[in-house]
Amino acid sequence: MVNYRPIPEWLKKKIRARDKKCVYCKIPFKNNPTDRAEWEHIDNDENNICEENVTLCCKSCNASKGDKKLMDWLNSPNKKKKEINEETVTNIIKEYIRKHSL
């Protein structure tokens, strides 16, 4: 059983205002099933609920990343083929990489 805390509404509102497109592939969010916004925990820890870890990404990127570590996923052959890497992601992901690669 996962011991996970829900994301507070005030934080959801703040993140929705910040993340208008997928933080990984930058596809604009719409309401169709393939590019709908989904909640993403960058470090995969659903108990780490903070503005620096919780983001919005598209269904495709969320499913592809799954429980993989961020850099493992970004360095995978499929992501390289789709040209998603640490230079092409949004600033929130770049900042996460910068802080966690020290």
Q: Give the ranges where 1-102 is alpha helix by DSSP (H).
A: 9-18, 59-65, 70-74, 77-81, 91-100
pLDDT score of 38 more than 80: yes
According to DSSP, residue 29 is labeled P
39 occurs within a structural domain: yes
67-97 residue pLDDT tens = 999 999 999 988 777 789 999 999 999 999 9
18 occurs within a structural domain: yes
The range of the structural domain enclosing residue 95 comes to 9-100
1 occurs within a structural domain: no
73 occurs within a structural domain: yes
63 occurs within a structural domain: yes
47 occurs within a structural domain: yes
Task: Tally the domains of the chain.
Answer: 1
- Give the global pTM: 0.88
Asked if 34 and 58 count as a contact pair (C-beta separation under 8 A), the reply is: yes
pLDDT score of 102 more than 70: no
37 occurs within a structural domain: yes
SS3 93: helix
3 occurs within a structural domain: no
